[in-house]
Amino acid sequence: MRITVLVNRGSGTVKKKRLTAESLRETFEKAGAEADVRLLPGEQIVDAARAAVKAGAEAVVAGGGDGTVRGVASVLAGGEVPLGVLPLGTLNHFATDLKIPTDLEAAVRLIREGEVRALDVGEVNGEIFLNNSSLGFYPPIVQARDQEMRRSKHGKWMAMAIATFKLLPRLSSLPVKLSSGDWQVERRTEVLFVGTSEYQMSLLAHGAPDRLESGGQLYVYLARSRSRLGLIGLALAGLVRDVRQTRMVEDWHLPELKVEVRRKRAIPVAFDGEVSRMKSPLLYRKRPRDLRVILPPQAPG
């Protein structure tokens, strides 16, 4: 199998373990696979993935966090070339939900020995996402976090805490109209969250454990709180239980979703830890079984 491995050289694990193209190539060789390994700046990953597919790669491996994996997946979605994942980021939600090992050697063996399965992806205004997309308070925090990381030597968690502390006093709710077919509601909210599968909305058990059983639906969550105190209360509730069990969150399962925001300017929208500005309306849809991914073999029976 001709394997191309594209690694974001700015990923946390790459820096921490001082990984090189040569050391990663040797890890693949030990697992019995030959790979063309490249360490690249994050902004070059997507173009490199396109070039790899054009050159005839039989699998393209994304090495990095969820943003890097999403970038490679955006090239491979809708095609036959499968995606492999080396979880080298800070959080690695996509890999964790799919039981892809976070240990480097084990992840490489999986790419060699795993099985290819087709997964659903989400799409918003032409951009795909693997895990979730959100608007409201969260995207500006991600932008401020990234600025803090560039400005200082703080890691992602500390930078996120600083960004949240700075932006919390400027919190404001967002007027949104949600519709799907004949259904529609109007709300004001600090956070609207759209997942490709059903989420556990607890800080102690966050994630989507049923990624392979999403049923072709989008999973939509809207925070009811409309104040700083309410948002803090929502976060505290999430420490001890799934906030879907409270009155602080509304949730719906929908085949598609149209989000209209009463703002003339483009608004920041997050997807898989990345942020882009988009104009209303936001059109969300599911692309069933559109991405082929190398996953752990299914248990017999």
In a domain, 121, yes or no: no
* Domain enclosing residue 270, as ranges: 128-288
Number of domains in the chain: 2
Longest dimension (CA), the chain: 56
In a domain, 225, yes or no: yes
- CATH assignment at residue 18: 3.40.50.10330
Closest to 199 measured CA to CA, from 183, 210, 186: 210
- The single-letter code of the amino acid at 141 is I
Domain co-membership, 59 together with 205: no
pLDDT score at 204: 40
**Domain endpoint, select from 113, 144, 173:** 113
Domain co-membership, 92 together with 147: no
Domain co-membership, 271 together with 170: yes
Beta strands 3-8; 59-64: pairing state: parallel
pLDDT score at 176: 95
Q: What is the mean pLDDT of residues 71-87?
A: 98
The residue length of the chain stands at 301
Closest to 1 measured CA to CA, from 296, 231, 252, 294: 294
pTM of the model as a whole: 0.84
The more confident residue out of 173 and 107 is 107
pLDDT tens-digit readout, 33-46: 999 999 999 999 99
In a domain, 298, yes or no: no
For the cut 70, the answer to whether the pLDDT of residue 242 exceeds it is no
In a domain, 249, yes or no: yes
- CATH assignment at residue 141: 2.60.200.40
HEC letters along 57-100: CCEEEEEECHHHHHHHHHHHCCCCCCEEEEECCCCCHHHHHCCC
Domain co-membership, 178 together with 58: no
In a domain, 87, yes or no: yes
**Domain endpoint, select from 83, 113, 143:** 113
Identify the sign of the CA torsion 160, 168, 66, 49.
Answer: negative
